[in-house]
Structure 1
Amino acid sequence: MPEVKIRKRLLILEEILHEGGPAAATPRKRGAILAVVENPFAGRYVEEIASFMDDLKPLGLAMAQDLIAALGVPPSAIDGYGKGAIVGAAGELEHGALWHVPGGYAMREALGDAKAIVPSTKKVGGPGTRLDVPVTHVNASYVRSHFDAMEVGVPDGPKADEMVLVLVMTTGPRVHARVGGLKASEIKGEDGLR
C-alpha cells in the first residue's frame, strides 16, 4: 500500500466555563486533532482497500498522543471521545471507514484500556465541509452526561483527492448536564455500554 501522505494537521482546543448557567468548578476541555491526508484511492474504484488501515495506524497513535498532550491533562482525566472522517469529492464514503480501526484503537490504547466503542461519523464533501463528531464516555456508551459532539472542519480541505481524519477527546461531562440517565459514578465497566 502507499505511504500516508500528510498535507497538514490542525489542533482545536476549547475550555468551556459555562453554558449560560453558573461557572463550572472545573472547566471542561474539548479538543480535536485533524490530519489532511492524500486519498490513495481517489478518482477510481479499488476493490481491496482494507490494508490501508494498517498504514494509518501509526498516524492514529501519533494523533491520539498529541491530542492528549495538547489537552494538558493525564490520560486518566480524559473521559469522552469520538472520531470522524471527511472524504474529498473524488473519493467514496467507504474510504472514510478506513479510519475506524486506526483512529478508534489508537485512542483506546493511548487512554489505557478504554472499554466503550468509539463513536464515529463520516461524509463526503469539499473544502470547508464541517463535521459533527459524536462523543460518548470512554468506558460506558450509555453515560448520558457525556453525549456530545464537536464541530470540526478544515478551511481548505479536503481537496477532491484528500481525506480529513479526526480524533476528539473531552474531559468531564457537558457543563450543566442534568437530564438524568446513567452517571459516570455508576459505570460497571463490564461491556462498554453500562
Structure 2
Amino acid sequence: MPDILMRKRILVVEEIFHEGGPPQEKPLRRGAVLAVLQNPYAGRYVEDLMPFMDDLKPFGLEMARTLLAALGNDPQAIEGYGKGAIIGAGGELEHGALWHAPGGYAMRELLGEARAIVPSAKKVGGPGTRLDVPITHINASYVRSHFDAMEVGLSDGPRADEIVFVLVMTTGARIHARTGGLKASEIKGEDGLR
C-alpha cells in the first residue's frame, strides 16, 4: 500500500459579516483544510487505485477533525460541506476521485451521519491552480440557501507529482440568502435530497 507523504497543510477560516446587505451580528464561518500529498501514481498508469483510497480513510478523518476544530469543534454548528482535489500535471483526474469516499464519509461520520451527498470538484493543474469547491446543506442537497462554493488553492502546489485534497465546512447559509426554495427548517431528512 502507498504511504501518505504530506508536504504541507493549509487551514483557512473566513468570517463573512455581509455581502453588500446589512451587516449580521453573527457572521457566517466558512473554512477549508488543504493537504498537499505526494501522488504515489504520478507519471504512470496504475490499474488498481484502491489501496491508496483505503490508506486515505483515516487521513480524511484527521483532516475533518482539524477543520471542525478550527470552526469551533461543535458538530451541531456545521450546516454545509464540500470536498475537492487538485491533481498535479503528472497525475490524472481519477487520482482525485480517490478522495470521494475518504473525504466525504469522514465529514459525514464526524458530523453525526449527515444525510446529503458531499458535493465535489476536481481538476488537473499546476502550482497556483484555484478550485471552486461546491457546498450544500449536510442533510438535504436541495436546500437552496446553502448552495455555495469556496475558492481554494496555494501558490506552490500542486507540483507535478502531488495532489491537493480539500475539505470545506460552513456554519450556515449564504449570509443574505433570500432566493426561496426548500428551507433548512423544512428538511424531512428521508433521502439526503429533501
In the alignment, is residue 54 of structure 1 matched against residue 37 of structure 2? Answer: no
TM-score (norm. length: structure 1): 0.99
In the alignment, is residue 124 of structure 1 matched against residue 109 of structure 2? Answer: no
Q: What is the Cα deviation at residue 61 of structure 1?
A: 0.3
Q: What is the Cα deviation at residue 26 of structure 1?
A: 1.6
TM-score (norm. length: structure 2): 0.99
Counterpart residue number, 1:138: 138
Q: How big is each residue's C-alpha offset from its partner over 1:115-136, in whole Å with a ceiling of 9 and x where there is no partner?
A: 0000001000000100000000
Q: How big is each residue's C-alpha offset from its partner over 1:124-173, in whole Å with a ceiling of 9 and x where there is no partner?
A: 00001000000000000000000000000011000000000000000110
Give distance in 2, aligned partners of 1:62 and 1:27: 26
Q: Give me the identity figure in percent.
A: 75
Counterpart residue number, 1:103: 103
Number of residue pairs matched by the alignment:
194
- 4+ aligned runs moved over 6 Å, structure 1: none
Q: What is the Cα deviation at residue 52 of structure 1?
A: 1.0
Q: What secondary structure, in the 3-state scheme, does the structure 1 residue paired with 2:102 have?
A: helix
In the alignment, is residue 154 of structure 1 matched against residue 169 of structure 2? Answer: no
1:156-175 map, 5 Å:
156-175=156-175
Q: What is the Cα deviation at residue 25 of structure 1?
A: 3.2
In the alignment, is residue 81 of structure 1 matched against residue 74 of structure 2? Answer: no
Counterpart residue number, 2:30: 30
Give distance in 2, aligned partners of 1:73 and 1:186: 26
Counterpart residue number, 1:3: 3
Unaligned runs of 5+ in 1: none
RMSD over aligned Cα atoms: 0.6
Give distance in 2, aligned partners of 1:155 and 1:10: 11
Unaligned runs of 5+ in 2: none
